Amino acid sequence: MYEELRGKTVLISGAGKKTGIGFGIASVLARCGMRIVLADIPASCAPSASMDDCCRALREQFGAEVHGLPLDVTCQDSVEDAAAFMKRLTAGEPLHALINNAGIMLSAASIAETPLTDWQKTMDVNLNGVFRMMRTFTPLLSRGSVIINMASRAGKRPAAGYSPYSVSKAGVIMLTKCYAVEYGSRGIRANAVCPGQIMTDLQSSRYASEARQMAIPYGERLEQARKSIPLERIGTIQDVGLLVAFLISDGASYLTGQTFNVCGGQLVEL
């Protein structure tokens, strides 16, 4: 699959745990023979933490070259350290793909009840983090390179109780479009991916909190969620990985500045 990706390098942020979308993307790209850099907050990169497991799994299953990298997207110094690491690793070759996947969703509250600190923290990871990464990594990109930013269905449709998250993801969509029009003439593409409901820690804590609010068992909330999706299944991390692999392949060479929904048909729009 996508033979042209073999040997090329990709960095994926927020990819240090096996249950997350970042790892799902990494698994598909490792299968394509890419050199993978998994980056995540330093705590998850400590010895014996889940980052080590992720790297080992990809090496064993796909024989991939995999590196684990500490990265906090809220800290400019950390982002610059990561860029310096990538420069050494690629030894002057361009970075083929930068996948800005790191993101958080804090607990639900109405706008009046949302602490200002929750708003600021969400913006700092989800939106400012993507901006820091794009501006710092652009010198490592060249004609043919691709940026994928992880937005959300919530960035297109308001999710009641999650205003910081929805607004941050709407910002990611527009930031991606701004980048595409600024850098298209240099041959760098940028697209946003909008997952719907993908089973990860982030999504399952959302189901758990909604089940508590509705006073129903977690399993019942899960079943409601499944039935709300036209394809009648909750998405997997591989569903997102397969879309990302296509978007960074030659098959997508005329696609830039777009958003791609991966949601089982839940978001159907003109």
Q: Which residues bind ligand NAI (CB under 6 A)?
A: 13-14, 16-17, 19-22, 40-41, 44, 71-74, 101-105, 125, 129, 150, 152, 195, 197-198, 200-203
- Cβ neighbours of residue 87 closer than 8 Å, sequence gap 6 or more: 140
Cβ(71)–Cβ(40) below 8 Å: yes
What is the residue whose two structure tokens read 């990302």?
244
Residue nearest to ligand NAI (CB): 103
- To ligand NAI, the closest distance from the beta carbon of 7 in angstroms equals 26
CA-CA distance, 188 to 3, in Å (whole number)?
20
Distance of CA 145 to the CA centre of its chain: 17
Mark whether 218 is an active-site residue.
Answer: no
Cβ(71)–Cβ(137) below 8 Å: no
Question: Among residues 33 and 195, whose Cβ is nearest to ligand NAI?
Answer: 195
Of 165, 179, 183, 207, the catalytic one is 165
- To ligand NAI, the closest distance from the beta carbon of 187 in angstroms equals 26
Paired strand residues for 150: 193
Mapped onto helix, strand or coil, the DSSP state of residue 66 is strand
Question: Among residues 19 and 238, whose Cβ is nearest to ligand NAI?
Answer: 19
- To ligand NAI, the closest distance from the beta carbon of 178 in angstroms equals 19
CA-CA distance, 248 to 188, in Å (whole number)?
11
Cβ(99)–Cβ(25) below 8 Å: yes
- To ligand NAI, the closest distance from the beta carbon of 3 in angstroms equals 27
Question: Among residues 13 and 138, whose Cβ is nearest to ligand NAI?
Answer: 13
Question: Among residues 161 and 195, whose Cβ is nearest to ligand NAI?
Answer: 195
**Annotated active-site positions, please?**
165
